[in-house]
Amino acid sequence: MQRTLFNEDHAAFRESAKAFVERTITPNVEKFIEQRVIDRDVWLEAGRQGLLGLEIPEEYGGSGANDYRFNTVFAEELCRVNAAVASSLGIHGDVVAPYLVDLCTEEQKQRWLPGMCTGEIKTGIAMTEPSGGSDLAALKTNAVRDGDDWILNGSKTFITNGYTADMIVVAARTDPSKGARGITLFAVETGMPGFERGRKLDKVGQHPSDTAELFFSDVRLSQEHVIGEEGQGFIYMMERLPQERIGGAISNLAHAQGVFEETLEYVKERKAFGQAIGKFQHNKFLLAELRTKLDVSQAFIDGLTMQHVRGELTAVEAAQAKYWSADIENEVIDACVQLHGGYGYMTEYRVARAWMDARVTKIWAGSNEIMKELIGRDLGL
């Protein structure tokens, strides 16, 4: 499908991003899967190529692009090779960076943003808790005042980059009496007394992205570690979740597109009963349906991406994009596994790994059921 949201600058950037992926990611995917983490050298190289600071102003070492289409291009090129790498780098550059750029003091920006751009400071964000799931307003992790400082206690789980991040944005309850308006964001750094990580979690898929539980036991935080205003954390998260969700939708669709294209080549070459398996009517019709669903979905996501570029994307539209793209991604990749037959169930085949990687997209960034709840409420139900 011909896409209309990109211009010549985006096309040139895509070539640079593709070269980075082919040189740095593709040859090492198997290693990242085995060790359950992306080498820091990848982060440093991404920093040298200017790929980590797309959301960060130039005075802090970033690109200052102010155009989410560049983020889109980078995510798409990563997802065509491995969705977990895109997730890990995306959390850092697409999700955490806007919090720091928008909410931090000048001193805080000087402290963290340059290192984020170079890859020397790797970041994550800790919202989800063992008992809360998608219910961000039900946080139990808490921070209480002790003089001018805060004392942080609690735990988080399923945190992307959690095992190796140098700095993590942590949401904690600071005033239980105020409900959602009693949540504050803090920056917790590696090496702080009382901050510990659990093991790298053993996930079904998304193996290259390190994911961990985080534990906070009387972690002392100064006022310099408060991000934004006290009590505004929930509002800050709600304001920035649409970007996380449209970013997830972009990645979901790019992941499915890449697997579909590989499968299309496979069914043209794989023979059964004397002909390519793609020639059988059932398979031909199935692939025609998948191609159409991908193109229709791409037009939808591209349109919402442009709304986001213009600052017009709503939370409800982001929820639609997130749930729909996750469903389409899983439908397409599951069909591609079937078309590969027994080989589709072998983990040495990219399609099998993609199938495992895709399943979580219906759960994270707010489960698809929560997305439908948000959409239903907007319908007045």
244 in active site: yes
User: Has residue 281 got a pLDDT over 70?
Assistant: yes
Residue pLDDT, tens place only, 319-350:
999 999 999 999 999 999 999 999 999 999 99
Q: How many DSSP H helices and E strands does the chain contain?
A: 12, 10
User: Has residue 134 got a pLDDT over 70?
Assistant: no
User: Has residue 289 got a pLDDT over 70?
Assistant: yes
Q: Which helix (H) or strand (E) holds 325?
A: helix 315-340
Going from the C-alpha of 373 to that of each of 135, 241, 257, 378, the distances in angstroms are: 12, 15, 28, 9
Strands 275-276 and 271-272, by their bridges, are antiparallel
Chain-centre distance for alpha carbon 158: 12
User: Has residue 138 got a pLDDT over 90?
Assistant: no
How far is 191 from 197, CA to CA, in rounded Å?
Answer: 11
Kindly compute the dihedral angle of the four CA atoms of residues 339, 343, 345, 346, in this order, to the nearest 10 degrees: -150
Count of alpha carbons within 13 Å of 82, Cβ hemisphere only? 25
Largest CA distance in the chain: 79
For tokens 């010549």, what's the residue?
8
* Complete domains list, the chain, with CATH: 8-121 (1.10.540.10), 125-231 (2.40.110.10), 235-379 (1.20.140.10)
Across 136-147, average pLDDT: 90
What tokens does 46 get?
């991404």
Residue pLDDT, tens place only, 70-123:
999 999 999 999 999 999 999 999 999 999 999 999 999 999 999 999 999 999
Going from the C-alpha of 228 to that of each of 90, 130, 223, 237, the distances in angstroms are: 22, 25, 10, 11
Question: What is the per-residue pLDDT for 136?
Answer: 73
Q: Which of 55, 76, 77, 244 is catalytic?
A: 244
Going from the C-alpha of 135 to that of each of 132, 167, 181, 222, 371, the distances in angstroms are: 5, 23, 14, 27, 12
Cross-strand partners of 152: 143, 219
Count of alpha carbons within 13 Å of 108, Cβ hemisphere only? 21
Cβ atoms of 329 and 321 closer than 8 Å = no
pTM above 0.85, yes or no: yes
Question: What is the per-residue pLDDT for 44?
Answer: 97
Residue pLDDT, tens place only, 204-252:
999 999 999 999 999 999 999 999 999 999 999 999 999 999 999 999 9
Going from the C-alpha of 238 to that of each of 136, 141, 289, 318, the distances in angstroms are: 9, 18, 36, 11
User: Has residue 133 got a pLDDT over 70?
Assistant: no
Opening angle at CA 22, ends 17 and 28, nearest 5? 125
How far is 61 from 63, CA to CA, in rounded Å?
Answer: 7
Cβ atoms of 209 and 226 closer than 8 Å = no
User: Has residue 302 got a pLDDT over 90?
Assistant: yes
